Structure 1
Amino acid sequence: MASDDQKSSPAKWPFVVTGLILVVFCGIILAIIFVPNRRVWTNDAYVTAHYATIAPRVSGQVTEVLVDDNQSVKAGQVMVRLDPRDYETALTRSRAQLAHDEALVLDTQAAVERQPSMIEESQAEAARIEAQLVYARQNAQRYHNLAQTGAGSAQERQLTDASMHEMEANLRSMKARVVAAQAEIPILKARHEAAMRTLTIDHAVVRQDELNLSYTEIRAPFDGMVGEKTVQAGNYVAPGAAMMALVPMEQLWVMANYRELALRHMRPGQHARIHVDAYDMDLDGVVDSIPPASGAAFAPIAPENATGNFTKIVQRLPVKIVLTPNQPLAKLLRMGFSVETTVDTGLENVVDEQSHSQTGITAR
């Protein structure tokens, strides 16, 4: 009977194994939740860059497009040419105006330099008339004395008097000319100064026309790859109209959106591992900087938590991770690729270090 009871009792080891499995599983889950991990991971990351939108600075008709989609270009390479004839005509006109005003400057300068000589000539003429006036007064006095004694005629006396008065009038006229010539010096200097200012304006106009002519050749501002090309020969373009995008392929970086709780031990300079989904490869990177705000803070319509019911939502911050130099595989990256990033924080005590520092240690 005893042996039959032992045979009929159920085995306990399956329950023990199941219990152990549950305990281990719960332990692992609790460890993941509560035990800090030096490596923080996210798959909310992508490759990006500060690309340039290529647009003309002057209006005109496109005569030539020298690049195509997905083409690599070098800095300074001509990408698009506009019809330059209108700007060549404007430059010719402004250069002619500059030459004309340069001649006016020389003319006004010569007038200023000539004026002292003209004043000196008028002063010499006044001195000559004054000397003649002395003789005319003496002569008139002689004939006046002769007329009183009856030796001279009245006609001769009147003639000498008229000659004397004429000399006096000429002397006053010449002195007035001297004064007028002296007063004209500041006027001539002002005209010369105005001509010089006009010349400065002309130089600026010529320089602007030269720049406008140079803008008819649209060049690459840096090395990169062409994308989103929308321009074609024959198009009429206005200033600022987007013609294509230029992506700096040597300056790609990763924007990794980490939850705010994952930033507890993160700071610039830490090593990051970047897994590229497209090619199933890994690249090395470095944390460049922690952003000043979350993505929600820069949203066009900012969240308003001060009204109604509130549900706390963990925010994400876009951490900038730059690639380590001299990685040949990095040339396979393209802007917009999805990646996974893992940052080795080393469990650094960022809070304690910041409490002893006067600078922001999480800023670059």
Structure 2
Amino acid sequence: MNKLSKHVGSVVAVIIGLIGVLLVLYVWQLPPFTSAVQRTNNAYVRSKITFIAPQVQGHVVEVLVTDYQEVKAGDLLARIDDRIYVQKVAQAKANLAQQQAALATAAQQRASAEAQVTAAEASLNAARVNNEVAKREFDRLTTLQARGVTSQSDLDNARASFDQASANVNTAEAQVEIAHQDVLAAETSRGSAQAGIEAAEAARELAQIDLDNTRILAPEDGRLGEIGTRVGQYVSAGTQMMGLVPHRAWVIANFKETQLHGMKIGQQATIRVDAADGQTLTGHVESFSPATGNEFSVLRTDNATGNFTKITQRLSVRIGFDQDQPLADRLLPGLSVEVSIDTDQPVTAD
């Protein structure tokens, strides 16, 4: 009887041991209980949080929003004292008007220079005619003086008139060249004035941009975080005033490298939300990180030094929420979730 009891006890102990081993294998999803469904609780809701900062400096004169307020794209969030920037715009406009006046003056100078060219060319033509008349008179008197018909004094006077007419032609030609140079100078002044106008217009646009930037606007729809600015505070370019969280969110799930086999873009994922009392949502795998988290860390592991211990790495997988899920609108960046993906499921093309 004692032998039978011992035998039964041994069998029971073996059975209990086998059950324990099987239970451990099941819990750790080891063969023969390996499942195609890969799970991880190393997953969080993510979103593109925009930190709003001014592009100009000055005192905050108005804050029109409160903590955690819902806003639309283009809503006015805060205003910076704009008096200096208003005057800069006025100054830029005055400078532009001055440059436009300079351009008008340059245009008038060119027109005047072109008129001077016309007058100088007319004077040159008259001088050439007078020179031709003086030359003919000199030639005639030269012939007559050779025949003894005219006096030497008349010939000398004709020579002087001819020389004077020739000099007048040279002077008129020089005046024409000067007039042409005046036209070129006027054209250069016109180009300089045109460049001045373009520079003044750019300065006016920059001044207007600075003035517009005194109004801090919401870049997109979303909810604000804590408002970090107050009326009277002096802010400069880059000062963080508040954060804006857009409505679009997704999940970053960090799977072990041993779980990635068979995982593909487009596969459906089940997302269990801790903050929603375990309610689930559905989504799809959108993309995989190009490297493990260790490669993106500031201090990467150097396995070529010291003793080596293999550590299973994790790869980030981005999962987008399916549409028309009311619970998805309540998810906030940073919340913890649990993600399950059946790696055996086929991927259907869109």
**TM-score range, shorter-chain basis?**
0.7 to 0.9
Cross-structure match for 2:17: 22
Supply the distance in 2 between the matched residues of 1:133 and 1:122 (Cα, whole angstroms). Answer: 16
1:263 aligns to 2:260 (yes or no): yes
From 50, 55, 58, the equivalent of 1:57 is 55
Cross-structure match for 2:273: 276
Instruction: Give 1:18 shift.
Output: 4.1
Supply the distance in 1 between the matched residues of 2:152 and 2:171 (Cα, whole angstroms). Answer: 31
Alignment of 1:143-222 (within 5 A): 165-222=163-220
Instruction: Give 1:151 shift.
Output: 8.6
Instruction: Give 1:26 shift.
Output: 2.2
- Work out whether residues 37 and 347 of structure 1, in 8 Å CA contact, stay in contact via their aligned partners in 2: no
2:30 counterpart SS class? helix
Alignment of 1:204-243 (within 5 A): 204-243=202-241
2:320 counterpart SS class? strand
1:225 counterpart SS class? strand
Distance verdict in 2 for CA 1:185–1:322, change over 3 Å: same
- Work out whether residues 95 and 200 of structure 2, in 8 Å CA contact, stay in contact via their aligned partners in 1: yes
Alignment of 1:104-123 (within 5 A): 104-123=102-121
The letter of the residue matching 1:22 is G
The superposition leaves residues 123-176 of structure 1 with CA deviations (integer Å, 9 ceiling, x where unpaired) of 112222333445556667889979x9799796x887776665544433322221
Distance verdict in 2 for CA 1:11–1:123, change over 3 Å: closer
Cross-structure match for 1:339: 337
Cross-structure match for 1:103: 101
The letter of the residue matching 1:269 is G
Instruction: Give 1:73 shift.
Output: 0.7
Distance verdict in 2 for CA 1:7–1:262, change over 3 Å: closer
Instruction: Give 1:62 shift.
Output: 0.9
- Work out whether residues 258 and 317 of structure 1, in 8 Å CA contact, stay in contact via their aligned partners in 2: yes
Distance verdict in 2 for CA 1:151–1:343, change over 3 Å: closer
The letter of the residue matching 1:273 is T
Supply the distance in 1 between the matched residues of 2:119 and 2:83 (Cα, whole angstroms). Answer: 54
- Work out whether residues 81 and 218 of structure 1, in 8 Å CA contact, stay in contact via their aligned partners in 2: yes
1:261 counterpart SS class? helix
* Structure 2, unpaired ranges of 5+: none
The letter of the residue matching 2:273 is V
Instruction: Give 1:260 shift.
Output: 0.9
1:251 counterpart SS class? coil
In terms of mean alpha carbon deviation, does 9-18 or 122-131 score higher?
9-18
Cross-structure match for 1:328: 326
Supply the distance in 1 between the matched residues of 2:158 and 2:219 (Cα, whole angstroms). Answer: 90
Instruction: Give 1:82 shift.
Output: 0.8
Instruction: Give 1:13 shift.
Output: 4.6
- Work out whether residues 261 and 343 of structure 2, in 8 Å CA contact, stay in contact via their aligned partners in 1: no
The letter of the residue matching 2:258 is L
Supply the distance in 2 between the matched residues of 1:110 and 1:129 (Cα, whole angstroms). Answer: 28
TM-score (norm 2): 0.86
State the superposition RMSD in angstroms: 3.0
2:5 counterpart SS class? coil
2:170 counterpart SS class? helix
Matched pairs, number: 342
- Work out whether residues 270 and 286 of structure 1, in 8 Å CA contact, stay in contact via their aligned partners in 2: yes
Distance verdict in 2 for CA 1:8–1:320, change over 3 Å: closer
The letter of the residue matching 2:5 is P
Supply the distance in 1 between the matched residues of 2:82 and 2:283 (Cα, whole angstroms). Answer: 46
The letter of the residue matching 2:15 is L
TM-score (norm 1): 0.83
Cross-structure match for 1:45: 43
Instruction: Give 1:23 shift.
Output: 2.1
In terms of mean alpha carbon deviation, does 234-243 or 35-44 score higher?
35-44
Cross-structure match for 1:3: none
Supply the distance in 2 between the matched residues of 1:160 and 1:9 (Cα, whole angstroms). Answer: 165
